C-alpha cells in the first residue's frame, strides 16, 4: 500500500469528487480561504436584508408585502446556515459578526447600492438573486461538505426570490407607461453592478487557480458572468426592457453575447468602502445589534433562571 | 456572482478570524428533522439558542418553513460524541471483510431468487 501524506490524501478525496468534512485534515490555506468566503457570503445574506426591508412598509399590496417579508426572512435563514457552515471550521459566529461590525469583514458590494423605487424589488430578485443563483448552483458542487449542503437549501429558496422579482417586473411592464419607465430606470441602475457581482476578470483574480484545484470554486468569474449575460438577454427581451449596454450583441462565432467593459474603477471604489450605502449599511447593522441587546440578555437570564429552578 | 472577497491592490488577502466579544454567546444546537412519517429524523443544520424551548422554536422557523418536516429534534452540540479523526482508518478495514456481504456468495441460477 502506498502511504500518502495528509495533503495527498486530502487532494485525492477532492479529485475523486468526494467531500471534505469538518474533522478531516485540511491545509491551512483551504481552511482560511473557506472561512473568508463563507463569512463574506453569510454577511452578504444578512446585510442583503436591508435594501429590501426598506420597501416592506411601502409594498403596493398586502400580497407583495407578505412575499417581501418571506424573502427577507429567507435571507436571515441563509445567513444562519452559512454562519453554521463557517463554525465547523473553528470560527465563532459572534466573532465573525463582530468583525463585520468593526468593518474588518466585507460583504458583497451589490448591497451598497440604494433601493430607490418599487421596481428595484423586482430587479433585485431578477438580476441580483439571478446572479447569486448562477454562482450558488456552482457552489453546491464545492468540495467542503457543510458549505455545499447549505448551498443546496439556499438554491431552492433563491429560486422563489428570482421568480417573484421577475413577476414584479412583468406586472410593471404590462402596466402604465410610467410603471414601465420605472422598471427601465431600475434596470439601468442595477445592470452594471449586477455584472460586477461576479468579481474581477480572471486575469486579475488572485486565487482562481488554487481555489479551482481545491474545488472551492468550479467555474471562473468571467465564465459565470458570461453564463449570466447569455441567460438574461432573453428575459429582458420578454419584458420589453433594454439592457443599458450599447455593445451588447450576439456573437455567432463564439455562441455567446458580447458585452461592454465594466467600470472597474467604480467596482474597487465600492469594494474599498466608498459606495453610496457602505457606511449606512454597517451602521444600521450595528444599531440593530445594539438595540436588540436587551432581548438577548433577557433570554439568557430567563434560560439561567429556569435551569436553576429545575436543578433545585 | 462570486463570494470570494476581492483583494484590492495593496490589501492583504487574509482576514481576521477572532476578536474580543463583550456579551455572552448562546450554546449551539444540532437540528434533526423528520421529513414525513415513516422515516428517521435526519440532521439538517444547527443554530444558537439560549435554551431548549427557543432552540425548538427557532429550528421550526428556520428549517421547516416550506413543509420540510413534520417533527423536529434539537440536541446540544456538546452532547454529540464521535471518534477522533485519527480513528477514521478503522472504518476502512471493514471494506476488506467482503465475506460479510451477501453479494460475495454465488447461488446457482436454477435455485432461483435468494
Hey, are the CB atoms on B45 and A150 less than 8 Å from each other? yes
> B14 and A32: CB-CB below 8 Å?
yes
Q: Which residues of A touch B55 (CB under 8 A)?
A: none
- pLDDT of A3 over the 80 cut: yes
Q: Which residues of B touch A199 (CB under 8 A)?
A: 1-2, 4, 6
Q: Is the CB of residue B64 less than 8 Å from the CB of residue B74?
A: no
Chain B neighbors of A95, CB-CB under 8 A:
17-19, 21
* Higher pLDDT pick, A195 / B9: A195
Q: What is the interface size between A and B, counted as CB pairs within 8 Å?
A: 128
C-alpha cell, B64: 421547516
Could you tell me what percent of chain A has a pLDDT over 70? 100
Please state, in angstroms and rounded to a whole number, the distance separating the CA atoms of residues A126 and A40. Answer: 22
R_g (Cα) of chain A, nearest Å: 21
User: What Å distances lie between residue A70 and A60, A91, A167, B65, B90, CA to CA?
Assistant: 16, 29, 16, 9, 46
Q: For the segment A251-286, what is each residue's pLDDT rounded down to a tens digit?
A: 999 999 999 999 999 999 999 989 999 999 999 999
Q: What is the pLDDT of residue A94?
A: 94
Q: Helices A293-311 & A278-291, crossing angle to 10 degrees?
A: 30
pLDDT surpasses 70 at B93: no
Which residues on A lie below 8 Å from B19 (Cβ)?
A: 95, 98-99, 102, 104
| Closest chain B residue to the Cα of A131, Cα to Cα | B1
CA A91 to chain centre: 20
Looking at the partner chain, which of A84, A104, A153 has a beta carbon nearest the beta carbon of B16?
A104
CB contact under 8 A, A211 and B4: yes
Per-residue pLDDT for B19 more than 90? no
Does A164 score more than 80 pLDDT? yes
Contact A166, A125 (CB under 8 A): yes
The pTM assigned to this predicted structure is 0.93
Provide, as residue numbers in chain B, all residues whose Cβ is less than 8 Å from the Cβ of A302.
50-51
Secondary structure of A236-255 in the HEC alphabet? HHHHCCCCCCCCCEEECCCC
- Residue B42 phi, psi dihedral angles, 5° rounding: -125, 140
Give pLDDT, residue B89: 64
3-state secondary structure A96-143: HHHHHHCCCCCCCHHHHCCCCCCHHHHHHHHHHHHHHHHHHHHHCCCC
Q: Flag whether pLDDT at B1 surpasses 70.
A: no
Report residue B89 as a C-alpha cell.
Answer: 482508518
Report d(CA B81, CA A279) in Å as an integer.
Answer: 44
* Nearest Cα residue to A207 out of A15, A17, A34, A27: A34
Q: What is the DSSP letter of A272?
A: I
Structural contact between residues B16 and A210, judged by C-beta atoms closer than 8 angstroms: no
- Alpha carbon A167 to its chain's center: 21
**Which residues 49-78 of chain A have a CB within 8 Å of chain B?**
70, 73-74, 77
Query: Which whole-number Å values give the CA distances from A167 to A22, A64, A252, A297, in the listed order?
Result: 40, 11, 31, 42
Residue of chain B minimizing CA distance to A205: B6
Q: Does A82 touch chain B (CB under 8 A)?
A: no
Asked if B103 reaches chain A (Cβ–Cβ under 8 Å), the answer is: no
d(CA A216, CA A142): 5
CB distance B15–A98 less than 8 Å? no
Q: Of A252, A238, A253, A131, which is closest to residue A194 (Cα–Cα)?
A: A131
Report CB contact under 8 Å: A95, B48. no
Q: How far is B5 from chain A (nearest CA, A)?
A: 6
DSSP-derived 3-state class of residue A220: coil
With 80 as the cut, is the pLDDT of residue A137 above it? yes
Answer yes or no: do B1 and A132 touch at CB < 8 A.
Answer: yes
What is the distance between the alpha carbons of residues B59 and B73, in angstroms, rounded to a whole number?
A: 8
Tell which residue, A76, A84, A4, has the closest CA to residue A38. Answer: A84
Which residue of chain A comes nearest to B68, CA vs CA?
A: A153
On the question of pLDDT at B86 being above 90, the answer is no
The percent of residues in chain B predicted with pLDDT above 70, rounded, is 89
Kindly state whether A3 is in contact with chain B, defined as any CB-CB distance less than 8 angstroms.
Answer: no
Residue of A23, A95, A221 with shortest CB distance to B18? A95
Report chain A residues whose CB lies below 8 A from the CB of B64.
Answer: none
Q: Is residue B2 left, alpha or beta, with left meaning phi > 0 and alpha meaning psi from -120 to 50?
A: beta
Averaged confidence pLDDT in chain A: 95
Burial class (CB in 10 A: 0-12, 13-18, 19+), B110: exposed
Helices vs strands, H then E, count in chain A:
14, 2
Using alpha carbons, select from A260, A227, A17, A60 the residue that is nearest to residue A130.
A227
Sorting pLDDT into bands at 50, 70 and 90, what band is B90? low
Q: How confident is the model at residue B4 (pLDDT cuts 50, 70, 90)?
A: confident
* pLDDT confidence band for A183 (50 / 70 / 90): very high
A271 contacts B4? CB cut-off 8 A: no
**Which residues in B lie closer than 8 A to residue A271 (C-beta atoms)?**
6, 8
Quick one: pLDDT band at residue A1, thresholds 50, 70, 90?
A: low
- CA distances from residue B70 to A152, B73, B90 in whole angstroms, order as listed: 20, 11, 36
Digit-coded pLDDT (tens) for A10-50:
999 999 999 999 989 999 999 999 999 999 999 999 999 99
- CB half-sphere exposure, A98, CA atoms < 13 A: 15
pLDDT number for residue B84: 75
Amino acid at each position: 500500500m502506498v502511504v500518502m501524506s495528509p495533503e495527498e490524501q486530502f487532494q485525492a478525496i477532492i479529485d475523486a469528487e468526494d467531500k471534505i468534512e469538518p474533522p478531516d485534515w485540511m491545509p491551512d490555506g483551504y481552511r482560511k480561504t473557506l472561512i473568508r468566503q463563507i463569512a463574506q457570503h453569510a454577511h452578504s445574506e444578512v446585510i442583503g436584508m436591508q435594501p429590501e426591508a426598506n420597501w416592506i412598509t411601502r409594498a403596493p399590496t398586502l400580497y407583495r408585502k407578505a412575499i417581501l417579508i418571506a424573502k427577507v426572512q429567507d435571507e436571515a435563514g441563509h445567513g444562519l446556515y452559512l454562519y453554521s457552515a463557517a463554525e465547523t471550521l473553528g470560527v465563532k459566529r459572534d466573532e465573525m459578526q463582530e468583525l463585520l461590525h468593526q468593518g474588518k469583514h466585507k460583504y458583497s458590494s451589490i448591497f451598497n447600492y440604494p433601493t430607490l423605487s418599487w421596481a428595484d424589488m423586482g430587479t433585485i430578485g431578477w438580476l441580483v438573486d439571478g446572479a447569486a443563483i448562477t454562482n450558488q448552483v456552482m457552489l453546491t458542487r464545492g468540495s467542503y461538505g457543510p458549505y455545499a449542503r447549505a448551498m443546496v437549501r439556499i438554491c431552492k429558496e433563491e429560486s422563489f426570490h428570482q421568480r417573484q422579482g421577475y413577476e414584479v417586473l412583468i406586472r410593471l411592464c404590462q402596466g402604465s407607461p410610467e410603471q414601465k419607465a420605472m422598471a427601465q430606470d431600475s434596470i439601468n441602475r442595477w445592470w452594471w453592478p449586477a455584472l460586477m457581482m461576479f468579481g474581477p476578470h480572471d486575469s486579475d483574480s488572485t486565487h482562481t487557480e488554487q481555489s479551482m484545484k481545491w474545488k472551492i470554486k468550479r467555474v471562473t468569474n468571467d465564465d459565470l458572468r458570461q453564463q449570466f449575460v447569455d441567460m438574461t438577454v432573453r428575459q429582458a427581451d420578454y419584458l420589453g426592457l433594454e439592457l443599458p449596454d450599447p455593445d451588447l450583441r450576439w456573437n455567432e462565432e463564439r455562441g455567446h453575447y458580447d458585452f461592454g467593459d465594466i467600470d472597474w474603477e467604480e467596482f474597487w471604489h465600492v469594494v474599498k468602502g466608498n459606495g453610496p450605502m457602505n457606511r449606512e449599511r454597517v451602521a444600521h447593522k450595528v444599531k440593530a445589534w445594539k438595540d436588540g441587546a436587551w432581548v438577548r440578555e433577557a433570554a439568557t437570564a430567563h434560560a439561567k433562571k429556569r435551569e436553576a429552578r429545575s436543578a433545585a | 456572482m462570486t463570494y470570494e472577497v476581492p483583494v484590492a491592490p495593496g490589501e492583504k488577502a487574509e482576514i481576521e478570524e477572532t476578536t474580543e466579544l463583550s456579551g455572552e454567546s448562546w450554546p449551539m444546537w444540532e437540528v434533526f428533522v423528520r421529513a414525513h412519517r415513516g422515516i428517521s429524523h435526519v440532521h439538517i443544520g444547527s443554530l444558537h439558542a439560549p435554551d431548549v424551548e427557543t432552540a425548538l422554536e427557532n429550528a421550526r422557523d428556520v428549517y421547516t418553513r416550506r413543509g420540510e418536516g413534520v417533527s423536529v429534534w434539537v440536541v446540544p452540540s456538546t452532547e454529540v460524541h464521535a471518534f477522533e479523526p485519527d480513528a477514521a482508518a478503522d472504518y476502512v478495514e471493514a471494506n476488506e471483510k467482503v465475506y460479510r456481504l451477501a453479494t460475495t456468495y454465488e447461488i446457482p441460477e436454477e435455485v432461483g431468487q435468494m
